[in-house]
Amino acid sequence: MGAEAVAADAPVPDGAAWPVAHPVAGSLLWCAVLLGIFVPLAVRRYAQGGAMSGPPVAAGRG
């Protein structure tokens, strides 16, 4: 028996939270939310030159 058969037969209790009743859609929604938050932050950081912009400092000399 494959994983699809086990997951397809899993009972969902009445009144379950939306992500429990729709796990694939919930996972995709969370991925979209996280990407929507962190991609713009990463692009902004990259455009500013990153957190460590400037010449490298040798260890023990800074």
Higher per-residue pLDDT: 4 or 10: 10
The reply to whether 3 falls in a domain is: no
Return d(Cα 21, Cα 23) in angstroms, integer. Answer: 6
Residue 11 pLDDT: 84
Sign of CA dihedral 36, 38, 41, 43: negative
> Is the pLDDT confidence value at 40 over 70?
yes
The reply to whether 6 falls in a domain is: no
**Backbone φ/ψ region at 10: left (φ over 0), alpha (ψ -120 to 50), beta:** beta
Residue 60 pLDDT: 64
What's 48's DSSP letter?
T
The reply to whether 14 falls in a domain is: no
Q: For residue 40, give its domain range.
A: 21-46
The pTM (predicted TM-score) of the whole model is 0.60
Residue 12 pLDDT: 86
The reply to whether 5 falls in a domain is: no
The reply to whether 7 falls in a domain is: no
Distance of CA 9 to the CA centre of its chain: 28
Number of domains in the chain: 1
